[in-house]
Structure 1
Amino acid sequence: MAFGFVAFHYPAREHLDEFVREAHKVADAARHQPGFLSVGVWVTPDEDAVVTTGAYESEADFLAASRVGREMGATPDGISDLEIRPREVHFLFSR
């Protein structure tokens, strides 16, 4: 059963491009992790949110990969210096 996530991030407008660049760096690192299936970085049409997505073969693979993300300053909880409100993260299992 695959494990995934969808995360809504709310960077300040003036930090949108920087946040997207950082999200792509984390996405590139994710592509090299065991169990990786997919990753995406999206921006809503109104540019109010950056939506990141990811999928791994298992929850264990995701947890291992998330350690790499944490080392890069990305974390599924909390708020970065670029965000104006806490992110919303939803975890998913394929069925």
Structure 2
Amino acid sequence: MNVAMIASHYPHAAYREEFVERVRKVAEVFRGMPGCLSAECWLSEDAVVSIVRWESDEAFAASLAALGTADVDVAFDEREARPREIVRLAAA
């Protein structure tokens, strides 16, 4: 069963472009992992949004575990105006 994750990041305006680059780098790492079907960066008026799809729960879990050792910045800190919103989805 395919699974997906939508993560909305709300950076302060001064950090918006930096967040776009951060999300693109994380998407690139995800795309290189087994079982990742797609990883993209989208923009809304106030958010930088990542949408990632995997072929299974196992691939999803392995990707998240591997992300911890990748050379990417995923820290939540003062650059964000409010907490991230992360939604995990499963294919119907």
Q: Which TM class, normalised by the smaller chain length? A: 0.7 to 0.9
* Number of aligned residues: 90
TM-score calculated relative to the size of structure 2:
0.88
Q: CA RMSD in A?
A: 1.4
Question: Could you list the runs of 5+ residues in structure 1 that have no partner in the other structure?
Answer: none
Could you tell me which residue of structure 2 aligns to residue 5 of structure 1? 5
Could you list the per-position Cα deviations for residues 39-80 of structure 1 after superposition, in whole angstroms to 9, with x for gaps in the alignment?
110111x2x1111100101111111111232333327xxx33
Match of residue 77 from structure 2:
80
* Residue 3 of structure 1: how far off its partner (Å): 0.8
Cα gap change, 1:81 to 1:34, in 2 (>3 Å): farther
Q: How far does residue 7 in structure 1 lie from its aligned partner after superposition?
A: 1.1
Deviation sequence 1:4-59 (CA, Å, 0-9, x none): 11111101100000011011111111111010101110111x2x111110010111
TM-score, structure 1 as length reference: 0.85
| 2:40 is the counterpart of 1:59 | no
Distance in 1 (alpha carbons) for counterparts of 2:28 and 2:47:
20
Runs of 4+ more than 4 Å apart: none
